[in-house]
Structure 1
Amino acid sequence: MHLGQQKPFSGPVTVFHDRRLPEAAVPVGYAALIDAYDLAVPAPFTLSAIGPRHKVYVADAWHVYTPRHRPDETLGGHLTFALRYEGLDLGVIKALFRAAGPEAIADIVRAAPTGAYARRLWFLYEWLLQARLDLPDATQGVYAPVVDPERQWATAGVTSTRHRVRNNLPGTPAFCPMVFRTPSLETFVASDLAAAARCVVAEVPADLLARTAAFLLLQDSRSSFQIEGEDPPQDRVQRWGQAIGDAGRRPIDLDELLRLQRIVIGDARFVHLGLRQEGGFVGEHDRVTGIPIPDHISARHQDLSDLVAGLTTFGRDVAPELDPVLAAAVLAFGFVYIHPFEDGNGRLHRYLIHHVLAQRGFNPAGVVFPVSAVILDRIDDYRRTLESHSRRVLPFVRWRPTGQGNVEVLNETSDYYRFFDATPHAEFLFSCVAKTIDVDLPAETAFLRGYDAFRRQVSALVDMPDRLMDLLFRFLHQNDGVLSKRAREREFAQMTDAEAAEIETIYAGVRQEFAQGA
């Protein structure tokens, strides 16, 4: 099938689907296919084009190749280019298969029955659409990996004798986000953060580590609520903290997600528990009309059972083969895009990060990395990471407002949540985990060491209850090491000037140690 029979290009362009090219060039690969078949899918982050010069370069989200890289102007030509140079975008490929039809793909295989790219496309068609092409089983050709493991993260894989390929896709047809190998991710994985965390913990006495772990756990629980703009009572924070502390002990399935939702919601009088029974979105309402103004539209409620089943199957069967942080990013961000519940999705999304890390033994026993606290501190980066996919999907979701101020989705959208490029999410999560190990864990132990030293030295000088000792420390910590006139006249009126001066000196002496945990 020639692209010219769909929507032919007139030649080099400088603007393609509202995206400027760095110079006049001919879009190829996924860009050409999306345009020729008018596919309603988000385009890959980086598109490809053929430039006029003999220079390969990347600029303005375009990978510009030389004239010798130009593929044949056929469906097979551009698909082969995409697989060879651009990796797998399963959302684009599945939409293209539906648009082109089975015979067009079968013709590609018949034209090159032993070709690795043709057999990979053949496998992908039958895997993604769960439909068999009218082709006999392959009898020749070296077994080829479906995913190029040097370009995207993949599993060890299993062989498909019908296609003579190795299925190393990191998921199932029901849920399979992809992650590209980037210099950032390669560096993170090679750094072995889990080993670094064990080294940090090994230097901390057991009693101090227990107090550090308790603080970090509570900090993560509180931060997860604050990200959602909530300030719940302490007992609710502690209950959710306990749930986080137990992460990784039970397999994730729908029943477990429902149990966790009940814990995180608490008072469910005004919240429907369980899978949504109507649409869902993240955003605001018009102040005058009440019409939704979505930043993100959740999966249709009719698709939730299948999507959650795909997600939990990934967590059970596929995630163990991937790097723990990569698996946590795919599982957690996939969940929050699906947004299966009326409320509690954000906190459960962050719980799933803890679940994967704990289940895989990534974090030291008894220690929860305060990922939510880091996310809260980097909230703008977090939102940009979420928007890296949701904003690209939003233009393709057709919806109308309901009388209850909600949205009703009018088109098929489930593949937008099954297949997405999770590379930005993996990079963001890795950077958050690295900070908890490199900064937060050592800082909190240093803080507690300094605090303990302060207590010992002050206790040798004056005798006071623990409650007052804690208050004294907080006053000094909040007032740059100086005990304020108000504190001297009220809570510590019985303290002499000499004692106050000596306590300030003690604080200054240990400040260098605990200031790292401030």
Structure 2
Amino acid sequence: MDCARFSWNTTIDMINRPLPESNASFAGYAELIDKYELYVPMPVILAAISTKHTKYATDAWQVFTPRHAPEDTLYGHLVFALRYEGMDLAVLNKLFDKISPRDVEPFIIEEPNGIYARKIWFLYEYLQDVTLNIPDIKQRAYVDLVDHKLQYVGPSRPSKRHRINNNLPGVKDFCPLVRRTKKLDKLIKQNLSNRALENVGSIHSDILMRAAAFLLLEDSKASYAIEGETPPHNRAERWGRVIGQAGQTPLSKEGLERLQKEVIVDSRFIHMGYRKEGGFIGAHDRATGMPLPNHISARFDDLERLMNGLIATTNLLKESDFPPVLSAAIIAFGFVFIHPFEDGNGRLHRYLLHHVLLETGFTPKGMVFPVSSVILKNISAYRTALEDYSKPRLSHIEWRATDKGNVEVLNETIDLYRFFDATPQAEFFYECVYETITKALPEEVKYLQNYDLMKIFVNNYIDMPDRTADLLIRFLHQNNGKLSKRAREKEFAALTTNEIQAFENKFQEIFGS
């Protein structure tokens, strides 16, 4: 096996993105990344200062007027970034790795009561795990660390030393952030949890139980189908029962390992529990066996720290006002990006979507939203949500192939998995939840109600065993309300032409064309 090293090209420009205007200049994070040569995954949106007096935005840039231009110093661009761009912990931590306390202490000492000086002070000590030679602030009003107008904030934890309310939606070892977008704000205002609760409350308990059972099984099958698998019926039922228990016990390492055992039926060739070697998603070169990664998992020696952080963030957010659908996206997608297990990560990732929605009370008790079924219908968008994270990070990981056809990561990569912008994943998943509650769930309930009406008609029209009536309705449903020639000649050869016509007409009346 060729054990060549694969690494990034350090000669490229840090900001490999054209400015929106020829005379524009970098500001905030863009300037810090460029000036300090921070090799980090590029923020989705960067800031620039125009020579014109019109503020506007593109898909890749926020463009500000000359009056917004910051002082061209470390402090000036940090303040600009926090004020206008929000929190990017990956960039900030990489910057703090490059500078020393001597670079930040002077402007904090000069302006110890300033809002942004205190935020930078807190962030430097928090991320670098150091204490600067600056005395505690004695009396000052507390200020929020994250601006709720720019990003969704977590529960507030006061830092007395800095007089800062730490409202990051996570802990130091796992803290993705989600930008406020028009799409997410609009979806959150839909109050989907209440809509689901109202819908569930208006459905007859028998119909609801049957719908829940069917949707649970369908979601289980869809979770396998997403990975190109078609499991035996009993295995799909078994995983459906596992999903049905989601949200009942707090997330833990032991619990996740038990779930992996439910996913992996035959573990003879699989290391169970957290990985003890590298991991990647992709293929192998046919000729050489060289790994061809689409995604490289977190280093195995970072797994305990990352997963403890993920579990701590789950517990932090579940009792807070943080939107539950965003929590589910952060936790579940964060899990699959870390990829802690050798196998079973995909289904556990989708299990976590259910777990968080149920644990936070977003999903009504006794119901499981068929989110995997909706994801399967939107599989291309799902892959895009995964690739939006993975593709930009591949060039930040130095690795070599092992003799086993695996990858060994050679550089520090923990920040790639604990600090990232989860907005694309949050938007994708919220749209799936919206489709589930407004379309998939009502459609299944309506189908069962129509099914019962059709079955009553069949039983009143002719004496027929339940299983035969069920088969008749299923055949009609599969063939758009018409009984096929094969069914007429085999299973339902005893029916007259008039009886078949009556059933077909009634089916069309109840279900529509």
Q: What residue in structure 2 maps to residue 200 of structure 1?
A: 199
Q: What residue in structure 2 maps to residue 83 of structure 1?
A: 82
Q: Which amino acid is the alignment partner of residue 115 of structure 1?
A: G
Q: Tell me, yes or no, if structure 1 residue 377 matches structure 2 residue 377.
A: yes
Deviations 1:50-101 (A, max 9, x none): 1110111112411111111111221111111101110000010001001012
Q: In 2, distance between residues paired with 1:219 and 1:489? A: 31
1:198 positional shift: 1.0
SS class of match (2:212): helix
Deviations 1:7-29 (A, max 9, x none): xxxxxxxx973312221110111
Alignment of 1:94-493 (within 5 A): 94-139=93-138, 141-321=140-320, 322-493=322-493
Q: In 2, distance between residues paired with 1:267 and 1:148? A: 48
Q: So what's the TM-score if we normalise by structure 2?
A: 0.95
Q: In 2, distance between residues paired with 1:319 and 1:293? A: 38
Deviations 1:258-302 (A, max 9, x none): 000000112212221100011111111112211111111100001
Q: In 2, distance between residues paired with 1:486 and 1:353? A: 43
Q: Which amino acid is the alignment partner of residue 136 of structure 1?
A: P
Instruction: Mark the runs of 5 or more structure 1 residues left unpaired by the alignment.
Output: 1-14
Change in 2 beyond 3 A, CA 1:427/1:271: same
Q: What residue in structure 2 maps to residue 70 of structure 1?
A: 69
1:470 positional shift: 2.3
Q: So what's the TM-score if we normalise by structure 1?
A: 0.94
Q: Which amino acid is the alignment partner of residue 36 of structure 1?
A: K
Alignment of 1:503-514 (within 5 A): 503-512=503-512
Q: In 2, distance between residues paired with 1:133 and 1:329? A: 35
Q: Count how many residue pairs are aligned between Structure 1 and Structure 2.
A: 499
Q: In 1, distance between residues paired with 2:379 and 2:273? A: 28
SS class of match (2:84): helix
Q: Which amino acid is the alignment partner of residue 18 of structure 2?
A: R
1:229 positional shift: 1.2
Deviations 1:113-156 (A, max 9, x none): 22110110000011111111111112354322111112111134
SS class of match (2:445): helix
Deviations 1:430-454 (A, max 9, x none): 1111111100111001101111111
Change in 2 beyond 3 A, CA 1:52/1:239: same
Q: Is the 8 A contact 2:155 2:316 kept in 1?
A: no
Q: Which amino acid is the alignment partner of residue 147 of structure 1?
A: V
1:478 positional shift: 2.1
Q: Is the 8 A contact 1:22 1:60 kept in 2?
A: no
SS class of match (2:158): strand
Q: In 2, distance between residues paired with 1:494 and 1:190? A: 55
SS class of match (1:372): helix
Q: What residue in structure 1 maps to residue 19 of structure 2?
A: 21
Q: Which amino acid is the alignment partner of residue 377 of structure 2?
A: D
Q: In 2, distance between residues paired with 1:198 and 1:137? A: 48
Q: Which amino acid is the alignment partner of residue 91 of structure 1?
A: A
Q: What residue in structure 2 maps to residue 5 of structure 1?
A: none
1:320 positional shift: 2.4
Q: Which amino acid is the alignment partner of residue 65 of structure 2?
A: T
Q: In 1, distance between residues paired with 2:209 and 2:125? A: 52
Deviations 1:490-516 (A, max 9, x none): 11111111111111111111113xx7x
Q: Is the 8 A contact 1:197 1:437 kept in 2?
A: yes
Q: In 1, distance between residues paired with 2:382 and 2:281? A: 15
Q: Which amino acid is the alignment partner of residue 121 of structure 1?
A: I
Q: Is the 8 A contact 1:145 1:168 kept in 2?
A: yes
Q: Which amino acid is the alignment partner of residue 433 of structure 1?
A: V
Q: What residue in structure 2 maps to residue 7 of structure 1?
A: none
Instruction: Mark the runs of 5 or more structure 2 residues left unpaired by the alignment.
Output: 1-12
SS class of match (2:169): coil
Backbone CA RMSD of aligned residues: 1.4
Identity fraction in percent: 52
Deviations 1:282-332 (A, max 9, x none): 111112211111111100001001111000011112332112111111111
1:247 positional shift: 0.5
1:210 positional shift: 0.4
Greater relative contact order (Cα 8 A, min sep 6): structure 1 or 2? 2
Q: Which amino acid is the alignment partner of residue 442 of structure 1?
A: P
